[in-house]
Structure 1
Amino acid sequence: MDGLIRGRSQERSNDADAAASALTLAVLLGAGVATARAWDHLAETGDAAAARVCEAHARGAPLPVAIAALGGRWADVAVAWSVATSVGAPLADTLRGIAASMRDAQEAADEVRVALAEPAATAKLMGWLPLVAVALGAVLGFDTIGVLIGSPFGIACLVGGVALTVLARRWNAHFVRKAADEGAVPGMGADLLAIALSGGVSIDRARDVVDGARADASVEGDVSSLEGILALSRSAGVPAVELLRASAELERHRARVEARVRAARLSSRLLLPLGVCTLPAFLLLGVVPMFLSVVSSSALTLP
């Protein structure tokens, strides 16, 4: 579980860096700095991701390809960059909007992380309970370790207790991982299609551009789920760009609520591995050996 938490912390840091860098690029481009020079300026500030993009671009890689190679949230930036340059949409406004979307998703993930902190810490603490039982028996003067390694029944208790402890840890980690599952930025498909349409192209052309940019950056997803919004735009005579952006905001709001619900349910779900694995392991490694130690001592003292 510790490795899972450290890995997710690193991912969150990289995602936050991507959003901050995209916003900085938007400011530079909005001030009239050329695209390649904007990346150079960003790299000169010590931004490692920007330095890698500049190196790849200097070797001849197109900017969207160099950006997508960074992985993580940078793939979304690469797709947005490719879409904007393909249709002639304002690149500064595009990056500013994508950065806002990523930061919104990051804030939701941070809220979930805070909500998960207490139940995850409790599960981690309870995972040590079987080992505490062994130490407690030794402190109280019981030969628990001797029983666990000195008799067939004790060895069976040791193997069963260790197996249940490992199972409980993996089970807890599975629940925490599911509750903290962030995945892609919610509403990104709608945002990308809005960017494409803001360039003045047709809906069919916008679909093709977004799908092609996603394929080039190896990003999953398509815009087929947005057909209802496009149909509403045509029937009501309302600009599709605003409807798509409103849909993206609503999708991120729903994702935030669902994530909070998953975090709230985690506390009750963690009781399952506690009751099925941790407490039986406590009995096998602590209570049973102490009982056997008392029985064997009593048997030895009988005339």
Structure 2
Amino acid sequence: MNVRILGRTSRNSRGDGRKADPIETVLRLAVLLSGGTAPTLAWRYLAEGGDPALTAAADAAERGADVGAVLRAAGDSWHGLAAIWSVAVAAGAPLSDALRSVVGALRETAEVSADVRVALAEPAATARLLGWLPLVGIPLGGLLGFDPVGTLLADPFGRGCLALGLILMATAYVWMRRLSRRAQPPRVTPGLEAELWAVALSAGVSVDRARGVIDDLGIDPTGRAEVRDTLELATRAGVPAAELLRGDAWIARYRARTDGRVAAARLATRLLVPLGVCTLPAFLLIAVVPAALAVLRSTALP
């Protein structure tokens, strides 16, 4: 297994230096460490692919610096691996076991994010397409034998229609963009804090020690109340808290996927409001009114 993984990494080093996938990196790192490879050497093997984040992590490992801090600085996509690595090192958990236990969670998190992006893509793309509808009406009017460009630019009433139509188009664009942003999921990894607690407690550290390690990472505190309730339940029932916490993490990811799909469905409906209030009147002002004005003036001529 090690030979195949290292061989593939070496081929990447002779390739185009593509960016590494964090989930694939976690899995490879777990396999290398479980095979007896030293952490410093494992990071160096993975860095042969040319990814800047892994190169920085390998350099930090060789210097004895905080690899987790380096990965956190490399971007949002590496935050999950960075947090897991930091907690496992600080709690003294076996690195390979910790990475193996969360690779499925990271994969599910990526799937949740992908599902939400796909669900939001259709209503957002439809809104962008319909947002250009008023300008599409100008060449359409020309094909019907009218002169919408001349009416919009030369006629005072036409210039007023053009200005008001463009203002409505800009308003619709800003309005729809804000609605799309509000529908985006929060930039946090659902269930990450529960997974980190499970890693720390599985290493046998106390609750106070685990809390100190996780607080040092600056994780978003949205899931802190759920973690506290789970720890209290485990204490009252006299059962290990790690499995309960992993269950909480799975539920958080399930809720994130459901909330994302609901937000996409609501977005498709809410986008109809700016389309009806702004885009349709803009189409009438820019495309229909100049054509009607041209017809009226042509019939009014002796």
Matching residue of 1:221: 221
Residue type of the partner of 1:287?
V
Distance 1:155 1:81, change over 3 A: same
Q: Show CA shifts across 1:133-155 (max 9, x none).
A: 11111221212111211133222
Instruction: Select the residue among 149, 153, 156 that pairs with 2:153.
Output: 149
Specify the SS of the correspondent of 2:74. Answer: coil
Alpha-carbon distance, 1:58 to partner: 5.3
Q: Which residue of 1 aligns with 2:243?
A: 242
Matching residue's letter, 1:94: A
Which residue of 188, 191, 201 maps to 1:197? 201
Single out whichever of 89-98 and 78-87 deviates more from structure 2: 89-98
Runs of 5+ consecutive residues of structure 2 not aligned to the other structure: 1-17
| Stretches of 4+ aligned residues off by more than 6 angstroms | none
TM-align CA RMSD: 2.2
Equivalent position of 1:206 in the other structure = 210
Q: 1:30 to 1:253 in 2, by over 3 A?
A: same
The count of corresponding residues between Structure 1 and Structure 2 is 284
Counterpart of 1:265 in structure 2 is 266
What is the SS of the residue equivalent to 2:21? helix
Identity of aligned residues (%): 49
How many angstroms apart in 1 are the aligned matches of 2:150 and 2:254? 57
Note the residue ranges of structure 1 that are not aligned, 5 or more in a row: 1-12
How much does 1:77 deviate? 1.7
Check if 1:76 corresponds to 2:80. yes
Query: Alpha carbons of 1:136 and 1:223: their partners in 2 closer, same or farther (altered >3 Å)?
Result: closer
1:165-184 correspondence to structure 2 within 5 Å: 165-184=169-188
Write the deviation string for residues 54-83 of structure 1: whole angstroms up to 9, x where unpaired: 345556642122211212031232222111
Contact 2:198 2:246 in 1 (8 A): yes
Taking the aligned partners of 2:205 and 2:65, their CA distance within structure 1 comes to 26
Contact 2:191-2:223 within 8 A present in 1 as well: no
CA contact (8 A) 2:169 2:279 kept: yes
Q: Distance in 2 between matches of 1:269 and 1:192?
A: 37
Question: Are the counterparts in 2 of residues 57 and 66 from structure 1 also a CA contact under 8 Å?
Answer: no
* Equivalent residue in structure 2 for 1:164, among 144, 164, 168: 168
- TM-score (norm: length of structure 1): 0.86
CA distance in structure 2 between the aligned counterparts of 1:237 and 1:252, rounded to whole angstroms:
26
Give the Cα separation in 1 of the matches to 2:289 and 2:183: 35
Distance 1:163 1:86, change over 3 A: same
Distance 1:39 1:228 in 2: 37
Question: Displacement of 1:296 after TM fit?
Answer: 2.4
CA distance in 2, matches of 1:57, 1:138: 67
User: CA separation of 1:285/1:27 partners in 2, compared to 1, >3 Å: closer, same or farther?
Assistant: same
d(CA) in 2 for partners of 1:193, 1:179:
29
